Structure 1
Amino acid sequence: MKIRSLIILFFALFLVQKNISQTQNSPDNYRDKTQNSKNYPIPAPHQLKWHEAELGVVFHYDLHVFDGKKYSQTANRIAPVEDYNMFNPTKLDTDQWIRAAKAMGAKFAVITATHETGFAIYQSDVNPYSLKALKWRDGKGDIVGDFVKSCRKYGIQPGIYIGIRWNSLFGIHNFKAEGDSEFAKNRQEWYRRYCERMTEELVTKYGDLFMVWYDGGADDPKGLGPDVEPIVRKNNPECLFYHNTESADFRWGGSESGTVQYPCWSSFPTPFSHNKNLDQQREHLQLLKHGDPNGKFWVPAMADAPLRGANGRHEWFWEPGDENAVYPLEDLIDMYYKSVGRNATLILGLTPDPQGLMPEGDVKRLEEFGQRVKELTENPVKSVSGAGSRINLKLDKRQIVNQVIIQEDIRQGERIRKYKVEGLTSNGWKTLCEGESVGHKRIQTFDPVEVRQLRLVVEKNIDVPQIRNFSVYDIERR
């Protein structure tokens, strides 16, 4: 009897533990973990990785890269590609892609596994319209697999972009199979299941991922959209999810300029950043751009732009004759200050060519960008950390300074609401710069001034400020 009782007790404890584990991994409890006892949001652990990364890239690659024509998004969304065997990157080298991203300073890279044609650039058992259908590499090529291996080889965190909002082959427009017939309704349900199965395939096939990105979102799982978030959370629990109408681990910053507006708060009034019925409304767009200092959810900002966005171009995919569209270095540095320097993460869109290589001019510009960011941020005159509304920074000698970097310890939330930086000059204390949001990182430049001491003065806060880093620089501005 004692043995039977022990067995019963052990089984009961097993069921209790299983129930606790399931509760802890549920989406609702997942969001609860991002609230603290003082009722303002804090980031989840995987969101901290997002902030620490600061710089990332997304590689766009699809069938139409090989047609020798200028890309037309409108046509691409409605016209299926007839000759998919034109996809033939004879010199494909994903190592070269990732080396270019690493030289830029990127900490993560994302690949478009599928985009608006519906074609999948990996070995899919779900999507027949994939590399398995090609003559290239005898139908055995796997660009997503090669990409992930290259990321891990060079210490870059891999992410996967899944495009489901448009599918020109299957006739899906803005998530919807056109028509009201029984045929259209059945196709709609099939497409929902197809997207869910493709998601499960991608998040289980390639190991731990940094993010899964649904461009244009994955729609409403209670409406036309597939229910993909639980699939991602279950199979890749440390992966960033972006996004559907119910959840987002970060938000689009309101433009494709590579910049965000200031102030830029990481908090948001809802647990998601996308609502297709509000996207065109000014109020929602302003929320995307600025966040909400009183928001109860941690949904930090993303700034994105294609590298080939200069001279009137804005191209996410390679096109012939666009070599002069690569942004000048000074424009990229301006993006950096207006994204990373405003508490956002910057993602640059990169475009491998039909050979399967990053163009030489693009690679060189990324190297220049990475080097310049290091020059501007890696060698402070002096740094300090601390807690409280006044942080003093004493220099070893009186000298010229012209830039500060401030970082809160965001593990404890964004607590600063208004601040100023003062410098002790020969004529007394002088305000050098001021602002509102700080968050993970705030970078500000000002006119060169000779000082012996600086102080960060927090004039408004919701809790004791926790300053992870307060650094001052003498940078060469060119």
Structure 2
Amino acid sequence: MKIPFKTSLFIILFLGLIFSCKNEKGLIPYGALPSPDQLKWQQMEYYMFIHFGPNTFTDVEWGDGKEDPKVFNPTDLDCRQWAATAKAAGMKGIIITAKHHDGFCLWPSKYSTHTVRESPWKDGKGDILKELSEACREYDLKFGVYLSPWDQNHPAYGTPEYNQVFANTLNEVLSNYGEVFEQWFDGANGEGKDGKRQVYDWSLFHNIVYRNQPHAIIFSDVGPGCRWMGNERGIAGETNWSTLNIEGFEPGAKAPSTEVLNRGEQGGKAWVPAETDVSIRPGWFYSPSTDDKVKTVDELMNIYYTSIGRNSNLLLNVPPDRRGRIHPTDSIRLMEFRKAIEEEFKDNLMKKAEVKSNADSQYDISNIKDEDYDTYWASADGDQSPSIEINFKTSTSFNRLLLQEYIPLGQRVSSFNVKYWSDKNNDWSDLVEATTIGYKRILRFPTVETKKIKIDFNALASPVISTIEVFKASEQLSAPIIERDKSGMVVIKCKTPDPSIYYTIDGSNPSVSSVKYNKPFLLSKGGIVKAIAMVNDGGEKSDIVSESFDIAPEKWSVVSPSSEGVSKIIDGNKNTSVEVGINDALVIDLGEVLNLKGFTYTPVANVQASNISRYDFLISIDGKNWDKVKSNAIFNNMKNNPVIQNVWFDKVVNTRYLKLSPTQLTTGGDKYKIAELGIITR
């Protein structure tokens, strides 16, 4: 049979491609694999989240959809400033909350009457998605969109018709603003006006995404593009597989457990890498009350290591203020954060090192130090426990180790340990051990000095290592920690040994001319304490930290319940907590009659903890006759973001006794936890 020339040419080229791939790769891919789009997404590593809407102006985290659109009126909105800030911070993109749970649309949607069109901003003719997408293109940033399926404003929510309404709004967003790199779906699924929850048509929503944006990564609890990693504190699991079993699961209540989402699943059938979302402030939306609560460089660096350093991308929320601009404090902190990252990773000690392995391999071992992700070293098929030895040739100090697997061939390494050579013992000594690597793993450990190290791998298939880098990071000056006990005594500490600490209590920023901290001081009536740490005669300074205190609980007592350790809820220590039966209300005697503007509730900072999500709050002068000031009220987003809640009353109340009665918990069970209960008088 005569084969046509074009056909034979195709066969030759096809066979050549197969053999060239085999010669270049030589390895059979293992397990679930990332798509080309997922790989590009993973290589972005770090990008900005923007929460902006009516909540910015009403000072709440979750609006209820009843807000007058007229409250949305930024005075100096500048999306170019957002983009310029993200670019200068080293970020690769921006994702914006185009519609949060309140239903307010940041574009003039045809399918809602709760939009920027109904607001006074730009006389109702503005479109934030248009302005931001254009700004992203100008600054060479990727543009992404968050769109909440939950809509507390739309009258169709909770009916079969709503899914098509949401699909229509999704189609608007994805077809009018250029390329979208990530579509972010929140799993929140609250009740509608008639008390019904919407049954979301995820298949319809996904089809809309892929029809308009075929290269977009879909985020949700179960992907399929990338997954939520189980908390909003910026902490991915120390073990973090990019694989997950998603069949039979959905975003929200039907998602895998937060523990599973945090660590992924070894051998999972789908490639669904983790994305770590966390805010630079305590809340997701801007509030003037958090201007002094922007995370320190210390805190951000810890998040960097527990997100990007644990095989996850970092989505850092930076909420614009009421002008519509990123607040100067946030912007400055982002630049400090970038500088700290660059300082820690500026000198790769691997460049001059010699490397070798005990394993047979057709790959050049020097590939691991060429800083090219697409070159790699691998042991022979079947060799799942090879070692790599790194010889610095001279005594070298270091405290950071960065490793990368070549994930287009799968995630393989299940654990590894690092040893350093001890001349004193003439033998290897243990340095550090860890579990998964994935796209990137960065380890921190106390500085060690040695001539060589050895890395022993344990893998599910022969390890494919793209990169190994070694660094010596300078010890960062830690920010002070301000604490106050039940009696009102303030203690200021610092992790850095022997710093000079200066503080103020008048609201001004501390400096070397402020009061120097030498011993605890009394602040029983409340106030604002600001502190700064310095070393080298003020040549090196920490971030300024601030803590606001109200009246100290010195005179307070817990009337009920009588559970063991229940006094921990008024000991001034947010790190202690007590467990209480669900039917037991907390009753506090303040010891005197006070005028209260509100109260504070500090939950246990763990998404697995059973915290209060809904509650009644009552007050009494005599402890017998009670007035309800909050009825079945909600602590917004308590399940996913268990942080201190400041609850303001509609008016000042005069009381001696407080009663907090839970009506709903974040988890099932018959007990709840609480760390602190406080008051607002200032």
User: TM class by shorter-chain length?
Assistant: 0.7 to 0.9
Deviation at 1:306, TM superposition (A): 1.2
How far residue 201 of structure 1 moved from its aligned partner, in angstroms, is 1.2
What whole-Å deviation, never above 9, does each CA across 1:181-200 have from its counterpart, x for those lacking one?
Answer: xxxxxxx2321111111111
Cα shift at 1:365: 0.7
Secondary structure of residue in 2 paired with 1:324: coil
Q: Is the 8 A contact 1:243 1:272 kept in 2?
A: no
Distance verdict in 2 for CA 1:103–1:169, change over 3 Å: same
1:304 deviates by 1.5
Letter in 2 for 1:71: V
RMSD value over aligned CA atoms? 2.3
In 1, Cα distance between equivalents of 2:174 and 2:251: 25
Cα-to-partner distance string for 1:220-262 (whole Å, 9 max, x where unaligned): xx944351101111211111112377x5211111111011121
Residues 394-419 of structure 1: per-residue CA shift (max 9 Å, x gap): 32532111111000011111111121
**CA–CA separation in structure 1 for the residues paired with 2:188 and 2:176:** 22
Amino acid at match of 1:461: A
Equivalents in 1 of 2:340, 2:304: separation in Å?
A: 11
Residues 1:108 and 2:105 are matched in the alignment = no
Question: Contact 1:401–1:448 (CA<8 Å) still a contact in 2?
Answer: yes
Q: Going by fraction, where is helix more abundant, 1 or 2? A: 1
Aligned-residue offset at 1:152: 1.6
1:291 and 2:264 correspond: yes
In the alignment, the residues of structure 2 paired with residue 476 and residue 339 of structure 1 have an alpha-carbon distance, to the nearest angstrom, of 21
Cα distance change of structure 1 residues 257 and 191 upon mapping to structure 2, 3 Å threshold: same
Aligned equivalent of 1:358:
326
Equivalent position amino acid for 2:238 in 1: Y
Are the structure 2 counterparts of residues 374 and 218 from structure 1 closer, same or farther at C-alpha, using a change threshold of 3 Å? Answer: farther
Rounded Cα–Cα distance in structure 2 between residues aligned with 1:154 and 1:218 = 35
1:352–1:359 Cα contact (<8 Å) kept: yes
Say which SS state the counterpart of residue 392 (structure 1) adopts.
strand
Tell me which of 199, 206, 209 is aligned to 1:229.
Answer: 206
Residues in 2 aligned to 1:218 and 1:240: alpha-carbon distance in whole angstroms: 21
Aligned with 2:288: secondary structure?
Answer: coil
Amino acid at match of 2:50: F
Identity across aligned pairs (percent)? 28
Per the alignment, do residues 218 and 229 of structure 1 end up closer, same or farther by CA in structure 2, a change over 3 Å counting? farther
1:168 counterpart (152, 170, 173): 152
Q: Which amino acid aligns with 1:203?
A: L
Shift of 1:72: 5.1
> Could you tell me how far 1:331 is from its partner in structure 2?
0.8
2 CA distance for matches of 1:442 and 1:39? Answer: 19
Residue 170 of structure 2 corresponds to residue 199 of structure 1: yes
Structure 2, unaligned runs of 5 or more:
1-26, 191-197, 352-365, 369-376, 380-385, 477-682
Q: Write out aligned runs for 1:330-349 (5 A).
A: 330-349=298-317
* Residue 323 (structure 1) aligned with residue 291 (structure 2): yes
What is the distance in 2 between the residues matched to 1:52 and 1:241? Answer: 16
TM-score of the aligned structures, taking structure 1 as reference length: 0.81
Residue in 2 aligned with 1:8?
A: none
Q: Is the 8 A contact 2:29 2:410 kept in 1?
A: no
The DSSP-based 3-state class of the residue aligned with 1:189 is coil
Superposed CA deviations along residues 51-94 of structure 1, whole A, max 9, x for unmatched, are: 21211221011123224xx3153xx23x5112x12322221111
Give the number of the structure whose residues are more often strand, by fraction.
Answer: 2
Larger Rg: 2
Distance 2:32 2:267 in 1: 9
SS of the equivalent of 2:452 reads strand
Alignment of 1:401-440 (within 5 A): 401-426=398-423, 427-440=426-439
**SS of equivalent residue, structure 2 residue 298:** helix
Which of 38, 42, 45 pairs up with 2:36? 45
In the alignment, residue 216 of structure 1 is paired with which amino acid? G
How far apart are 1:341 and its partner, in Å?
A: 0.8
1:423-462 Cα deviation digits (max 9, x unpaired): 233233223211110001111122222222223221x212
Query: What is the match of residue 398 of structure 1?
Result: 395
Partner SS state of residue 327, structure 1:
coil
Aligned partner of residue 160 in structure 2, secondary structure: helix
| Shift in CA distance, 379/408, structure 1 to aligned 2, threshold 3 Å | same
List aligned pairs for 1:146-157, cutoff 5 A.
Answer: 146-157=131-142
Task: Kindly state the Cα deviation for residue 95 of structure 1 after the two structures are TM-superposed.
Answer: 1.4
| CA deviation after TM superposition for structure 1 residue 129, in Å | 2.6
Query: Deviations along 1:358-401, whole A, 9 cap, x unmatched?
Result: 11111111111111111112421115512222233232532111
Report how many aligned residue pairs link the two structures.
Answer: 411
Give the partner amino acid of 1:440. Answer: Y
The yes-or-no answer on 1:60 pairing with 2:51 is yes
Query: Distance between the aligned counterparts of 1:410 and 1:224, measured in 2?
Result: 33
Could you tell me how far apart the structure 2 residues matched to 1:318 and 1:418 are? 41
How far is the alpha carbon of 1:124 from its aligned partner?
A: 2.5
Partner of 2:73: 88
Q: What is the one-letter code of the residue matched to 1:209?
A: V
AA aligned to 1:210 is F
**1:151 partner letter:** C
Say whether the 8 Å CA contact 1:214–1:243 is kept in structure 2: yes
Task: Letter of the 2:463 partner, please give it.
Answer: P
Aligned to 1:470: 468
> 2-side partners of 1:216 and 1:71: how far apart?
19
Q: Indicate how the Cα distance of structure 1 residues 420 and 125 shifts in structure 2: closer, same or farther if over 3 A, else same.
A: same
1:71 corresponds in structure 2 to: 60
What do the CA deviations read for 1:1-45 (whole angstroms, capped 9, x no partner)? Answer: xxxxxxxxxxxxxxxxxxxxxxxxxxxxxxxxxxx9766111111
Q: Residue 206 of structure 2 aligns to which amino acid in structure 1?
A: E
Of residues 215, 218, 224, the one that matches 1:238 is: 215
Corresponding position of 1:20: none
Assess if the C-alpha contact under 8 Å between 1:267 and 1:298 holds in 2. Answer: yes
Please report the TM-score for the alignment, with normalisation by the length of structure 2. 0.57
Letter in 2 for 1:202: V
* Farther off after superposition, 325-334 or 378-387: 378-387
Closer, same or farther: CA 308–65 of 1 in aligned 2, 3 Å: same
Distance 1:218 1:382 in 2: 49
Structure showing greater relative contact order (alpha-carbon pairs closer than 8 Å, 6 or more residues apart) = 1
Instruction: Give 3-state SS (helix, strand or coil) of 1:321's partner.
Output: helix
CA displacement 1:127-158 (0-9 Å, x = unmatched): 34322233322322111111111112222211
Among 233, 255, 261, the residue aligned to 2:231:
255
CA contact (8 A) 1:218 1:225 kept: no
**5+ long unaligned stretches in structure 1:** 1-35, 178-187, 310-314
8 Å Cα contact 1:305/1:348 also seen in 2: yes
SS in 2 for 1:228: helix
Counterpart of 1:142 in structure 2 is: 127
What is the CA deviation profile of residues 299-333 of structure 1, one whole-angstrom value per residue up to 9, with x for unaligned ones?
11122211112xxxxx1111122111111110111
**Structure 1: distance between partners of 2:399 and 2:318:** 32
1:303 and 2:276 correspond:
yes
Letter in 2 for 1:302: E
